[in-house]
Amino acid sequence: MNNNINDIEDRYPADTELKFSGTIIASSTHELNNVISILNQTGGLLEDFLFAAENGSPIPHEKLKNIADKIRIHSERGIEIIKHLNKFAHSSDLMHGPFNLNDLIENLSALIERFVSLKGAALSIELPSNKIEVTNFPFKVQQVIFMALKIILSNTQKGDSVKLSIVGNESNSKIKIELVTERECLLPDLSGLKNYTGKINADLISDKKSGSVFIEINIPAYVSNESA
């Protein structure tokens, strides 16, 4: 039996939404696990210091301050992860409707950053100052962005940068996923991704220029609930 994920996605496209959710949840809970591990060890370190203090070794003020800082920083990091994951989960509450594209991209980028950093690359986002409101399928839009990112990441290496941006204007906005690299890269193959863009009525293009290859997803300002 061939368990290659691309084959599974080709045969059972409906399951890819579930797979996408699972991938995002798994990655975010890994991050949360790291946060909890840090808090757990920091609490253990404090216990070590208290044990030493009971045996006559005073706890240096600087050590206590470091522990307090670590607890605060990583508690805040955990809260941010939960906030983004919760927002992602609620993006499927209303399968179709109006939403803010900037907010959607901002939230999704926080959840997918780890996929980029695991390639040894850095993710940046660039959003227009004006908020882009569209009517579409928000969960599906995120899934297509993530799948496009996966295609871009298949070419990404250590030291590269990946840029996620919105280009164009409200009536004609495009989400651009760009690999910035000095290496010569092949043009991304979009044939598989095109199977998933029908419902959100998005056009896709891929192109390359000196120092970058990219995929653009054209998001119409309004897509009917009856689409596809």
Q: Name the residues that contact another protein, by CB under 8 A.
A: 29-30, 33-34, 36-38, 40-42, 44-45, 48, 52, 70, 73-74, 117-120, 158
Give the nearest distance from C-beta 78 to another protein in angstroms: 12
Give the nearest distance from C-beta 83 to another protein in angstroms: 20
CB 209 within 8 A of CB 172: no
Q: What amino acid occupies position 69?
A: D
Q: Which is nearer to another protein, 36 or 205 (CB)?
A: 36
CB 192 within 8 A of CB 168: no
Residues in the chain: 228
Give the nearest distance from C-beta 214 to another protein in angstroms: 22
Give the nearest distance from C-beta 41 to another protein in angstroms: 4
Q: Which is nearer to another protein, 29 or 100 (CB)?
A: 29
Burial class (CB in 10 A: 0-12, 13-18, 19+), 202: buried
Q: Which is nearer to another protein, 37 or 225 (CB)?
A: 37
Q: Which is nearer to another protein, 157 or 171 (CB)?
A: 157
- Phi/psi at 118 (5° precision): -65, -20
Give the nearest distance from C-beta 217 to another protein in angstroms: 27
CB 193 within 8 A of CB 206: no
Q: Which is nearer to another protein, 156 or 173 (CB)?
A: 156
Give the nearest distance from C-beta 203 to another protein in angstroms: 33
Residue 206 neighbours by CB under 8 Å, 6+ apart: 187, 188, 189, 190, 213, 214, 215, 216
Q: Which is nearer to another protein, 82 or 228 (CB)?
A: 82
Give the nearest distance from C-beta 81 to another protein in angstroms: 13
Q: Count the alpha carbons within 13 Å of 176 in the hemisphere toward its beta carbon.
A: 21
Q: How many CB atoms lie within 10 A of CB 147?
A: 22
Beta-ladder partners of 177: 164, 215
Q: Which is nearer to another protein, 37 or 224 (CB)?
A: 37
d(CA 52, CA 227): 67
